Structure 1
Amino acid sequence: MFDKKQCNAFLAVIKTGSFESAAKELFLTAAAVSLRVQALEKSLGTLLINRTRPCTATQAGLEVVQYLQHAKLREQKLLHDLKAKTNKNFFKVRIGSNEDSLATWLLPAITETLIQQQLIAEIHVDDQSRTYALLETGLVHGCISMQARPMHGCEAIFLGNIRYKMVATPNFVQKWFTHGITREAFRLAPAIIFNDKDHLHFDVMQNRFGLVQNSYPYSSIPASESFVTAIRLGLGYGMVPELQLNELAPQSLIELYEPCAVDVALYWHHWQQQSLPLQKLTQHLVANARHYLAYPKLKD
């Protein structure tokens, strides 16, 4: 039988990445959190946390996280089923999402289910290449990721492709690319990136023009709507989801270089053992995503 206080301390460290941050979340001292984690490790006879910066779960730690999250899901399901008749109780679902999906298609795709199933959403945002880690460490029930392969105990469902285009304002193109789309022009022109984890932009620049990160000027705007606003204001060029471009006035932004367009495949990852509300969420999310994302047609 697991000690609840020890488990909460362990999960808090995995969630926050440090004993100090976990202590603040639990209103304890860092020493008290450390003692509880050590007691749990001693009772299990194995190390659960790598004492690095940030702290990460060992393989045994990941197995414990998965077990505890499954137990929590079963508890939530039982409470939801017992209290369903009151119509006053909500089931919290934690979703890992990239910023662009959240800003465009995710909420419209799940709104009906959230209302009908009385779900409240806690959305954790990270790059689509990193949301997988949120599920792996048990911080979310499901996540939108570019990873195609599911981890043990999970399923991965293809949602569709989100297309990114390299765009800028007509005035920006005229100013910085007067002599054409060249490597030298990209070396001098300011770009807009999301943040230092924006591998999409960095990969395009390196693969297409041989320009590595920090070899050209760029501004970091870590919010989807503000990111597009910065490009519309002429502060730089950038990779923008086609879904966002469709909402803008025609010609306010133009495609700078068509060969730089990139299709990013997105997948919905979730635990195989799901409560009924989470099953409903998965069904509707997968079905509705196809109204927004590009879904390749099967060849005859």
Structure 2
Amino acid sequence: MLSSKFCEAFLAVAESGSFDAAAQRLCITASAVTLRVQALEKDLGQILLLRERPCRVTQAGQQLLEHLQHQRLREQNLLQQFMGQSSQHEFHQFSIATNADSLSTWLLKVLQSTLIEHNIALKLSLDDQTQTHQLLETGLVNACISTESSAMTGCEVHYLGQMTYRMVATPSFVERWFKDGIHRDALRHAPAIIFNGKDLMHHQVILNLFGLNQQSYPHFFIPSSTAFVEAVHLGLGFGLVPEYQIGDDLQSGKLIEIMPNAKTEMKLYWHHWKQQSALLQQLTIDLLEKAQHQMNE
């Protein structure tokens, strides 16, 4: 059996990045943290931490870290299921991984009544929709929104709905950069708006339709859904934007859909552990009932 004190010390260092910070978190001395981590490494016969600034876990350390984080999350779920709320002022807390567009458009609206009625506080982690399931797999979150359609071991997956993306720009941007139409040469010079380096939707559309890779044209990285749309409105570039955010702007003419064949449908799925608390199960039920309607408004 692994020593809980030794594991607690290792977890604190791995998550805080230093022995001093871990000592403050555990209310013990830094030397005591060091001794506990060394004892754990001796017991396992593995170096778990690289003593750098900040400290980094080794491959073996990463395996142990994921195990301990997953174990902690399962224990929290079990305690909530057994104990519930002890007073009206206490909140249940769940960790959920989501993509930024879902968070900025429909997610909180869908969950609003459930969160308020049951006193639930969410710890939200943001990542690309193709990466969020890895946070669930490593035990860092209770559930996630992902484009992955297959259930992972020990998990269940449910279809949520789809988000529609359209390639848009302002009329003045079109007049400046695409006055003679949209073609390869024009796209080599017109700036694009892309969420971040993990966001491959824009890259794949331009590559498929025009044979241009991301290095072939100027582009902004704007890793905020609201700032992304604002940048398009300001005429800084053109980009793939959720239809949910710009329906009125397309109707009013503030934005123009410049590539109808670039329309992209992104299917989203809800993943959660098979063993979950009754309250998280209720959150799942409410989410599944309302998500598709909200995304298709």
TM-score range, shorter chain: 0.7 to 0.9
- Measured after TM superposition, the shift of residue 30 of structure 1 is 8.6
Q: Which amino acid aligns with 1:27?
A: Q
- Residue by residue, what CA displacement relative to the aligned partner does 1:108-136 show, whole Å, maximum 9, x if unpaired? 01011101111011111111111112112
* Deviation >3 Å, runs of 4+: 1-16, 22-65
Distance (whole Å) between structure 2 residues aligned to residue 51 and residue 211 of structure 1: 44
1:278 is matched with which residue? 280
What is the RMSD computed on CA atoms of the aligned residues?
A: 3.0
| TM-score, normalisation: structure 1 | 0.84
Distance (whole Å) between structure 2 residues aligned to residue 13 and residue 149 of structure 1: 34
2:236 is matched with which residue? 235
**Which SS does the other structure have where 1:27 is aligned?**
helix
Change (3 A) 1:15 1:154: farther
1:27 is matched with which residue? 24
- 1:292 and 2:289 are equivalent in the alignment: no
2:261 is matched with which residue? 259
Alignment check: 8 A CA contact 1:98 1:144 kept: yes
Q: Which amino acid aligns with 1:262?
A: T
Unaligned runs of 5+ in 1: 296-300
- 1:139 and 2:143 are equivalent in the alignment: no
1:75 is matched with which residue? 79
Alignment of structure 1 residues 44-193 onto 2, 5 Å: 55=57, 62-80=66-84, 83=86, 86-193=87-194
- Measured after TM superposition, the shift of residue 13 of structure 1 is 6.2
Deviates more, 1:154-163 or 1:56-65: 56-65
Alignment check: 8 A CA contact 2:157 2:269 kept: yes
Distance (whole Å) between structure 2 residues aligned to residue 141 and residue 10 of structure 1: 22
**Which SS does the other structure have where 1:102 is aligned?**
helix
- 1:217 and 2:218 are equivalent in the alignment: yes
| TM-score, normalisation: structure 2 | 0.85
Unaligned runs of 5+ in 2: none
Alignment check: 8 A CA contact 2:192 2:219 kept: yes
- Residue by residue, what CA displacement relative to the aligned partner does 1:16-70 show, whole Å, maximum 9, x if unpaired? 7xx44x8647636998767645544554667878999975665565445433321
Change (3 A) 1:2 1:214: same
Change (3 A) 1:153 1:214: same
Identity %: 44
Q: Which amino acid aligns with 1:168?
A: A
- Measured after TM superposition, the shift of residue 76 of structure 1 is 2.8
Distance (whole Å) between structure 1 residues aligned to residue 206 and residue 51 of structure 2: 36
Alignment check: 8 A CA contact 1:103 1:225 kept: yes
Distance (whole Å) between structure 2 residues aligned to residue 283 and residue 38 of structure 1: 45
Corresponding pairs, count: 289
